[in-house]
Amino acid sequence: MKPSEGLIDKVNKLQFLVFDFDGVFTDNLVYVSEYGDESVVCNRSDGLGIAKIKDLNLPMYVISTETNPVVAKRCEKLKIACIQGCDNKLSTLKNLVLNAGYQMENVAYVGNDINDKQCLESVGLPILVKDAHPDVLHLAKYTTNKLGGHGAVREVCDLIFNIRGE
C-alpha cells in the first residue's frame, strides 16, 4: 500500500529516528535460564534495514528502560547509540533532540507500550509496532504490519528508505 501524502511529508522532514528496544527489536519475551541469565531474540533482517538508514545519514538512537546488557550489545553490533536503564524517556529524548539542534516535530519514535506514551505524544512521527499495547495504539501516525521482534524495525527502515532514498 502506498504511504499517504501526510506520512511522506513527515518522513521527508525527519531529522532523527529513535527506537524503544523491548517489544520493538524483540518480541517482548524474555528467556530466563536456571541461573537467572536473561536473553531475548532479535530479527537479523532489522540490521539490514538499519544499514539502509545509515546510507541516508539519518541519525538513530535507542532509548530503553531495560538494564539488561543485551540492549547495549545488540546496539553495539548494529552501531546505534543507546541509552538504557532510562527512567525518564521523554526527558532523555528531549535532551538528545535539543543537544543535536533538531526539532521534536522532525523526530520519529518507534515504541510499543505505555512507557513510550510521552515520547510518542511529543514527536512529529509516532510509530507503533502492530502488537503494541492497546493503550497507545491510538497515538500512531504509522503502525507496522509486522510484530515487534518480527521485522517491525526493518519495515520502518524500509518505509523511510523507500520514501527518502528515491
The domains of the chain, with CATH numbers, are 5-164 (3.40.50.1000)
Q: Is 140 helix (H, G, I), strand (E, B) or coil?
A: coil
Q: In the β-sheet with 81-83, what is the strand arrangement from edge to edge?
A: 81-83, 60-63, 16-19, 107-111, 125-128, 142-143
Q: What is the pLDDT along the chain (166 residues), one digit of tens a residue?
A: 688 999 999 999 999 999 999 999 999 999 999 999 888 999 999 999 999 999 999 999 999 999 889 999 999 999 999 999 999 999 999 999 999 999 999 999 999 999 999 999 999 999 999 999 999 999 999 999 999 999 999 999 999 999 997 6
